[in-house]
Chain A
Amino acid sequence: MVKRLTMKIARLVLAVLGAPSGPALADQTHVAVAANFTDAANEIAAAFRAETEHEAILSFGATGQLYTQITQDAPFEVFLSADAERPAKALAEGFGVDGSNFTYAVGRIALWSASADLVTGEETLRNGRFDKIALADPATAPYGIAAVEALTTLGLPAALEPKIVQGKNIAQTFQFIETGNAELGFVALSQIAATDRGSRWEVPADLYSPIRQDAILLKKGEANAAAAAFLDFLKGPVATAIIEKYGYGTESGN
């Protein structure tokens, strides 16, 4: 009985270890990706794989959280930040490779609600006819900083203060609104670029400083050809088209 079980387990282990995993991949690279870039990154990684046969393994998280992990020796080789500040910091603190950082996308924010008529424009914020408004935590999430900046430019933060709830990152912020727990909130335009659902107001770019999202090659990936290839691919026309499709600006197209 025990012997039979052992055999079974052994066979299972062999099957898992020895299973042919599709076409042999050239190389892998671990990429830390800011949560707002999730959908675009997935599509880019798929295109990257199709073109180069390298595989980009994506880890998503809040930029601040990812950076903290990088300082603690996380196995990331490429970092797609939601801001320009963290990659610069990575350089200054010796985690990044000199001269490898560049702006891969320029983020935009939108005021969005899952219900069809709620958001009509700036006046939605002024009227304040809602219970909860969600934004990403400005202490760690660049999209949260942009949202607060826009509110400040409009002269509104004090009036809205008690209604604000914070998502840990822009993905959670979206989820608060999507589930209706907050009637509306500031999301990344990229999160709603693919849908017509709900109601939205694309916040004019002059209300907040542009959200420059920088990428950087980390020291861990310096020797990995796949990591460099991924960054090259990110600058190329295929990736740029995907990035713009998701509602971001790019340095070249913007």
Chain B
Amino acid sequence: MLGLSSDIWTSVRLTIELAAVTTLILLVVGTPVAWWLARSKAHWKEAVAAVVALPLVLPPTVLGFYLLIVLGPNGPGGALASLWGARTLAFTFEGLVIGSVIYSLPFVVQPIRNAFEAVGERPLEVAATLRATPWRAFWSVAVPLARPGFLTGAVLGFAHTVGEFGVVLMIGGNVPGETKVLSVAIYDFVETLRWREANILSLGMVIFAFAVILSMTLIEKRMRKVRQ
């Protein structure tokens, strides 16, 4: 297809897999964090929020550097990897997932937190007077009302993981089918002066990014209308 070799399609598939797994984990991990950040009265919660937002500001090299050490044989990642007989989590798909979850965390937590905050106390208080348990109220009141936030978070988390480069470069080791994702493949093509392939893939990324941003804006607009 498009005259591209099969290893490119391996990279495309790998990228989508990585982004999908990362987004799923982020929704599971990010939702309770976002909920706590939105509802807690603890005065140190903004410190936690700042930690969550760190990847927005830190250069990927900082994350990549620490991850390389943390995932390695002398860090907790190595201890984890030894459970299945490996020495390190670097150079593996699992390692990339860990890196991506950290790297994309703010992009998922922030929109969900905002959505929970927008829901406010009132609907939950009403649910409580109707004898809904907090657990039930969360699932049948807060989550449906915060749906736009979940959607935005998922789309942003997915897209941001697809666009990840620096962290992958530093902990990936360029293993085809395992850690050689699209952005790294593009980098390789540029370096080896294979600009035709670089062009096709880059253009694909541009279109993808445009579609993501546009569809997100449209979805948000529509949701706002529905609610009004």
Q: Which B residues are CB-close (under 8 A) to A183?
A: 87
Contact, CB under 8 Å: A139 / B188: yes
Given contacts A65-B191, A139-B191, whether A180 and B88 have CB atoms under 8 Å apart is yes
Report Cα–Cα, A62/B193, bound state, in Å.
Answer: 13
- Interface membership of chain A positions 177-206, coded 1 if the CB is closer than 8 angstroms to chain B and 0 otherwise: 001111100000000000000000000000
Confirm or deny: B99 has a beta carbon within 8 angstroms of a beta carbon on chain A: no
Report Cα–Cα, A164/B69, bound state, in Å.
Answer: 19
Confirm or deny: A137 has a beta carbon within 8 angstroms of a beta carbon on chain B: yes
Q: Which A residues are CB-close (under 8 A) to B78?
A: 180
- Interface membership of chain B positions 82-99, coded 1 if the CB is closer than 8 angstroms to chain A and 0 otherwise: 000011101100000000
Tell me which of A62, A131, A134, A179 has the highest count of chain B C-beta atoms within 10 A of its own C-beta.
A179
Given contacts A168-B169, A181-B91, whether A139 and B192 have CB atoms under 8 Å apart is yes
Confirm or deny: A48 has a beta carbon within 8 angstroms of a beta carbon on chain B: no
Given contacts A137-B174, A166-B173, A167-B173, whether A132 and B191 have CB atoms under 8 Å apart is no
Residues of B within 8 A of A (CB): 68-69, 71-74, 78, 86-88, 90-91, 169-170, 173-175, 188, 190-193
Q: Which A residues are CB-close (under 8 A) to B91?
A: 132, 165, 181-182
Contact, CB under 8 Å: B191 / A62: yes
Confirm or deny: A175 has a beta carbon within 8 angstroms of a beta carbon on chain B: yes
Residues of A within 8 A of B (CB): 62, 64-65, 67-68, 71, 131-132, 134, 137, 139-140, 164-168, 172, 175-176, 179-183
Report Cα–Cα, A134/B88, bound state, in Å.
Answer: 13
Given contacts A132-B88, A165-B91, whether A180 and B191 have CB atoms under 8 Å apart is no
Q: Which A residues are CB-close (under 8 A) to B170?
A: 172
Chain B residue nearest in CB terms to A141? B191
Report Cα–Cα, A134/B173, bound state, in Å.
Answer: 8
Contact, CB under 8 Å: B192 / A140: yes
Contact, CB under 8 Å: B68 / A165: no
Q: Which A residues are CB-close (under 8 A) to B173?
A: 132, 134, 165-167, 176, 181-182
Given contacts A139-B188, A176-B173, whether A131 and B71 have CB atoms under 8 Å apart is no
Nearest CB in chain B: distance from A243 CB, A? 26
